[in-house]
Chain A
Amino acid sequence: MRLMDGSSAADVPVELEGVDQPTVLTLVRVVRGAKRKPETASASCLRGRNWGIRAAGPSVERVGVYSESVTFRQEPRQGIFGCDNSPGPREESRRWCSGAYGTLYSGHLRDPRLDIICQATDGSLIGFVWVEPSPGTRFVAVAQPEYTEVYEVAGGLPVRVATTSRVDAETSSAVFDISEHDAAGKLLRSYELRAQVAG
């Protein structure tokens, strides 16, 4: 299967317990500050959304089948922020169709900061949230209608995941079917994450 950037998805290196659908490993890059060259996704996110806040530490860039994201930690560590992208239409040909900011309380988000502004090419909404995986998690799996997208935990940051289904514009909410797995693929927990646009 191809990812949004046109590359072929690599195989998930282990079998994920409890995941019955075909799996697609999303691409992840951890980018150190010094290497944020202007052409990187991280640099364009910082440049394009006029954040007015400073990034600290590495950023994490992710590419899925219908999604792309960058996540930063805010200096001095009171928040996380980043950009979301999809293959669909957006305003003014912007590089990123949306983004999100979340305040950290004792190092954690109070809610997953749902973003439902990005769209697929057919106009359907794509929902993005940050998942804070439980200790020991190496892979976060998100069930899509016909496959399961797998995100590798990286950079010590929450994992920005996307769903192409169960996004409801009327209630400004989305439901994510998530499972978390250790490095050997063992299921640590599975749950339905119900998120609401807020704040």
Chain B
Amino acid sequence: MSTTHRFLIAFVAAFGLATAGTAGAYHTRFVADNCNTNTPQALSPITRDSAITVALKARYEGYQWGGGCWNDNNVDDSPNDPVGNPNTGGEGGDCSGFTFKVWRESESTSNAGFYEWLKLRKVHGPYTADSFRQGAGAPNTTYSKSGLIKMDALASTGHIGMIYAKNADGTDQIIEAKGEAYGTNIWTRTYRGSSSYSGVRRTGWSG
């Protein structure tokens, strides 16, 4: 290989790396093109099964740090978003935004009512996984892990997932927005048996 050829390859490689650096400003148009900020409708209390229906609309959709807007086409429309950046405009909720929306909570922490957040309504809510874990907010309370049932949640300082079903072996099927590489889905988890996780309950269900 000639010196000139080696130089060209090095130049192209360097340019490619520089371009890849620009890609650090990755941004999709999912939120801009699809999501809205419509005023949510106040609801009468809903059932846990209704919340499961809401949660399943997000299954197979994406994950977005700080996000809360998704469609229902069973595809992550903005895969491989940079992690930890709430401004990339991608599809999906993060773990706490997903929980907030499925539990149909209010943006006001002193309001325990139910609100209809449609799937394309971009909203995260005021709670992090850790604040859910503490039972923060009028609708939320800490709860004994042994007594948790469907649509209660298990939360650590950094993650929260809701119980979709309880397995006979003591594990749970958890519906959760897990991460950019995983999206939102149902997985079998051992959160209930982990000392890092606490039980959380959204109160006020109608059944």
Contacts and interface: CB of A to CB of B under 8 A. Distances in A.
Given A52-B196, A111-B86, A101 B124 contact: no
A172 B195 contact: no
A14 interface: no
B134 interface: yes
Contacts of B138: 91
Interface residues of A, number: 30
Given A117-B109, A199-B96, A169 B126 contact: yes
Interface in A171-199: 171-172, 194, 196-199
Interface string B129-149: 111001011100000000000
A98 B123 CA distance: 21
Contacts, number: 91
B128 interface: yes
Interface in A28-66: 49-53
Interface of A: 49-53, 79, 81, 89, 91, 98-101, 103, 105, 110-111, 113, 115-117, 169-172, 194, 196-199
A186 B106 CA distance: 44
Contacts of A199: 65-66, 94-96, 128-129, 158-159
B158 A101 contact: yes
B37 interface: yes
Given A99-B131, A101-B128, A51 B157 contact: yes
Contacts of B184: none
B84 interface: yes
B83 interface: yes
A99 B130 contact: yes
A52 B195 CA distance: 8
B127 interface: yes
A101 B130 contact: yes
Given A50-B198, A101-B158, A197 B124 contact: yes
A172 B198 contact: no
A115 B131 contact: yes
Contacts of B156: 52
12 contacts: A50-B198, A53-B157, A98-B131, A99-B131, A101-B128, A101-B158, A110-B83, A117-B131, A172-B125, A196-B87, A197-B128, A199-B95
Instruction: Report which residue of B125, B126, B137 has the largest number of chain A beta carbons within 10 angstroms of its beta carbon.
Output: B126
Interface string B10-26: 00000000000000000
B84 A197 contact: no
Nearest to B66: A198
Q: What 10 A-B pairs have minimum CB-CB distances, sorted nearest first?
A: A110-B84, A198-B66, A101-B157, A196-B86, A196-B66, A172-B124, A101-B130, A169-B107, A198-B65, A198-B86
B203 interface: no
A198 B66 CA distance: 4
A115 B157 contact: no
A170 B37 contact: yes
A111 to B, nearest CB: 6
